[in-house]
Amino acid sequence: MNPTPQLPHSAVVTDWGRTDYSEAFERQKQLVEQRKNGTAPDTLVFTEHNPVYTLGLRKGADAHLIWDKQACARHGIRVVRSNRGGDITYHGPGQIVGYPIISLERRRDLHAYLRDLESVVINTLAHFGLTADRRIGKTGIWMGERKLCAIGVAVRSWITYHGFALNVCPDMRHFAGIVPCGITDGSVSSMARELAEPIDMEAVKECLAVEFQKIFANTSKIHE
């Protein structure tokens, strides 16, 4: 098998704006193929999804959906299955979703990639005065027992997709319809709730892009 074609070690950061989850998933798959074929560079995608509960591959994720179809419909929330790792989670406006479509061909270490991705978010939160960290035995980024960022990734031919979902200022009431990420000994929170003040979404995206550049040693540039 031929190795994944390598491009100059640079990345593009692009913002898709508001998207439906299913639409974004198809666009991710297209980018994965383009990256695999060497026709696209490493890319960090930002988006905000229309309200949706996504079910990951973890066994028992279905049991963590609390609201029935009628309740979800009343709140305007779709339910879809995903091939990412992890349990059930919520995506919606006010949450920054980051999808790194990058090649791990040079370093085939998914564990290291996840630690790097976590560091991007931890360092970003620190810029806003929030001291967050990993939690032993749990995925995502936490402040104590409060989860601010969910992480669930997938890899195809050593090209990454899916990624992280950082709660900046989403409608926290929508988390009541699920057991978020299967958490039974903690809760979810947001940057706005922790700081008790409005948060500039664009400022958070800019900071995430800079930290991504630093940690993955890429030259990033924003493309609308």
Look at residue 166 and tell me whether its pLDDT is greater than 70.
Answer: yes
- How far is Cα of residue 198 from the mean position of the Cα atoms in its chain? 21
Between 6 and 41, name the one with better pLDDT.
41
Look at residue 218 and tell me whether its pLDDT is greater than 70.
Answer: no
pLDDT digits (tens, 9 = 90+) for 172-185: 999 999 887 777 77
pTM of this structure: 0.88
The domain spans of the chain are 11-219
Confidence of residue 104 (pLDDT cuts 50, 70, 90): very high
Q: Sign of dihedral through CA atoms 124, 94, 110, 186?
A: positive
Look at residue 112 and tell me whether its pLDDT is greater than 70.
Answer: yes
Confidence of residue 10 (pLDDT cuts 50, 70, 90): low
pLDDT at position 62 is: 82
Confidence of residue 192 (pLDDT cuts 50, 70, 90): very high
pLDDT at position 200 is: 96
pLDDT at position 221 is: 42
DSSP string, 7-48: --S-EEEEEEEEE-HHHHHHHHHHHHHHHHHTSS-EEEEEEE
Please tell me which residue in 72, 169, 181, 207 is annotated as part of the active site: 181
Look at residue 224 and tell me whether its pLDDT is greater than 80.
Answer: no
pLDDT at position 7 is: 34
pLDDT at position 101 is: 97
Q: Indicate the CATH number for domain 11-219.
A: 3.30.930.10
Average pLDDT, integer, range 129-143: 92
Residue 181 annotated among the catalytic residues of the structure = yes
Of 128, 140, 107, 112, give the one whose Cα is nearest residue 208.
128
